[in-house]
Chains A and B, each alone.
Chain A
Amino acid sequence: MKLAEIRNLLDAEVLCCPEGLENEVKSACGSDMMSDVLAYVKDQGILLTGLVNPQTVRTAQMMDMKCIVFVRGKRPEQNVLELAEDNDITVLATDYRMYTACGILYANGLFSEGVDKV
């Protein structure tokens, strides 16, 4: 699925790196626990999270993720967006809550990859 389609499905605002919207991702991961993302995620292209501190970008960067979606209307500070920009990570913001945002993407065929059930 293209990031542009994800933006449309989530009615999201693009906060940085709009040039990345043409990138394709095959799977996604939703979490507010960065260590869980680091432990179980394999080749997820996007991270959905309700946290907006710089470590969400660092985590995405370590995992080679292309996009972060901040859920439930949260907006990060400028330094977080600059860090994302430096690492070519597209940042989206949606007003949907975590469960709904993940559900919309899943229902539209964006699954998870790696460990689904522990």
Chain B
Amino acid sequence: MEPIILTFDVNGDDFSVAGEASSAVKKHLKQLGFPPDLIRRVAIAMYEGEINMVIHADGGVATAEINETGVKITLADRGPGIKDVNLAMQEGYSTAPEEVRNLGFGAGMGLPNIKKYSDDLKIETELGVGTTLTIQINM
């Protein structure tokens, strides 16, 4: 198959629309007839990453590259960056404010979840510049 590239602007101002990009990718993969297990792994990993872009980084750009071997998701933001990536990867570590917790996120499970559901996770981050997550999920 020809690779398919989907690109989305993720709005950082509106928590209520977070997840639209992940939802669109999920629907696309379903239409293409990808296996349900792969679709769910992509959906969860991308959704957690998209939520992070909204709650920690004022939004950014999400890209999904689909081919017959799997899906590569890139989430690029111009937020504050992550000071200590090893710490951020630990289950339960979160700097999310109270109001985010009241909305059901900020349990410090997002990055660990992305790692758990993906085959490869790369985090490039620079303080004051931004963060890019590259997530590979194979068939």
Which A residues contact B (CB, under 8 angstroms)? Answer: 32-36, 38-39, 49, 51, 53-56, 58-59, 61-64, 79, 87
Flag if A32 contacts B44 (CB, 8 Å): no
Is residue B83 contacting chain A, with contact meaning CB distance below 8 A? no
Q: List 7 A-B contacts (CB under 8 A).
A: A33-B104, A35-B48, A35-B107, A38-B113, A51-B104, A54-B17, A62-B19
Known: A39-B116, A79-B16. A58 touches B107 (CB 8 A): no
Flag if A62 contacts B44 (CB, 8 Å): yes
C-alpha spacing A87/B22, complex, angstroms: 13
Shortest distance from the beta carbon of A45 to any chain B beta carbon, whole Å? 14
Flag if B19 contacts A55 (CB, 8 Å): yes
Question: Which residue of chain A has its CB nearest to the CB of B102?
Answer: A51
Flag if A39 contacts B104 (CB, 8 Å): no
Q: Which of A35, A51, A53 makes the CB contact (< 8 A) with B109?
A: A35
For the complex, count residues of B whose C-beta is within 8 A of A. 26
- Looking at chain A's contact residues, is the secondary structure mostly helix, strand, loop, or mixed? helix
Known: A38-B47, A62-B47. A51 touches B40 (CB 8 A): no
Binary contact track B75-119/A, C-beta < 8 Å → 1, others 0: 000000000000000000000000000011111111011001000
C-alpha spacing A54/B47, complex, angstroms: 13
Residues of A within 8 A of B56 (CB): none
C-alpha spacing A64/B38, complex, angstroms: 12
Q: Which of A35, A39, A87 makes the CB contact (< 8 A) with B105?
A: A35
Is residue B72 contacting chain A, with contact meaning CB distance below 8 A? no
Flag if B109 contacts A64 (CB, 8 Å): no
Residues of B within 8 A of A87 (CB): 23
C-alpha spacing A33/B40, complex, angstroms: 19
Flag if A62 contacts B22 (CB, 8 Å): yes
Residues of B within 8 A of A79 (CB): 16
Flag if A34 contacts B26 (CB, 8 Å): no
Binary contact track B1-38/A, C-beta < 8 Å → 1, others 0: 00000000000000111110011001000000000100
